[in-house]
Amino acid sequence: MRYFMRLSYRGEGYLGWQIQPQGPTVQGALQDALSRLLHQPIDVTGAGRTDTGVNARMMVAHFDAGDLLPQDLLYRLNAMLGKNIAVQEIWPVAPEAHARFDATERTYRYYVYVGKSPFFWELTWRAVHPLDFEAMNQAAKHLLGRQDFTSFSKLHTQVKTNICDIRKAQWVQQTEDIWYFEISADRFLRNMVRAIVGTLVDVGRHKIAPDEVRAIIERKDRCSAGTSMPGYALYLWQINYK
């Protein structure tokens, strides 16, 4: 029987979602815990693949197991996973349901702190220099729509296309000192959001003009875009299904 699970995690200490031979991953931690608790090999498939250090407010995954799960599985699973992974819900779904392929939209947020605080430095990126968020929002408008985002993709990835449909891209002020960039699309490329944020930060520092983002997209050249931002301030925020 197939089950979906909803979880969240802090990316610190993990080499991203997908299992890697070099070290611990979120997918690996889940598979190991479920396999031990259910006494059978369990494969977990996620709705996406977050990079090293990236957080998830919401991740959805599926796995196959027997018809009857232990009633205390959720409690025991969370106890085994430790403090940086939390599973909120597990529920049965149709056998053909797929956490990745059935998702219609994903949303990420990148958090920026424009002041200085001893409490936020591990979970937000501190902007040491002033940023022009109005110009950054003007630049973000060029991202909207179905386009080829090769300029913001990690090189040499095994994907069939770099075309994505971005439906929302906007900087939002949450408090006096905290801003976040929210971006929603049907799919994302590896390193895409952090490369986009790095480019928009260049706009905010007046290193490039807002309209230059259009030219960067059209070049389809990663070297023309900005530096990739640190992963610890990035969050997989929401996943939508039909």
Helix axes 212-219, 133-140, angle to 10 degrees: 40
Pairwise CA distance, residues 222 & 40, whole Å: 43
What is the mean predicted confidence (pLDDT) over 173-187? 97
Q: What is the pTM of this model?
A: 0.94
**Which of these, 16, 18, 7, lies nearest to 85 by C-alpha position?**
7
Residue 158 has pLDDT above 80, yes or no: no
The average pLDDT across 7-23 equals 95
Portion of the chain with pLDDT greater than 70, in percent:
100
Mean pLDDT is lowest, of 24-28, 60-64, 156-160, 223-227, for: 156-160
DSSP three-state, residue 64: strand
Q: Which two tokens stand for residue 79?
A: 């106890």
CB 1 within 8 A of CB 92: yes
Residue 71 φ/ψ region, left for φ over 0, alpha for ψ in the -120 to 50 degree band, beta for the rest: alpha
Contact (Cβ atoms closer than 8 angstroms) between residue 242 and residue 213: no
User: Using one digit for the tens of pLDDT, what is the confidence trace for 182-237?
Assistant: 999 999 999 999 999 999 999 999 999 999 999 999 999 999 999 999 999 999 99
- Whole-number Cα distances in Å, 216 to 20, 157, 194, 211: 32, 20, 15, 9
**pLDDT category, 153, cuts 50, 70, 90?**
very high
Q: Count other Cβ atoms within 10 Å, centred on residue 83.
A: 8
Over residues 24-48, the pLDDT tens digits come to 999 999 999 999 999 999 999 999 9
Question: Helix count (H) and strand count (E) of the chain?
Answer: 5, 10
Cite the active site residues.
Answer: 51
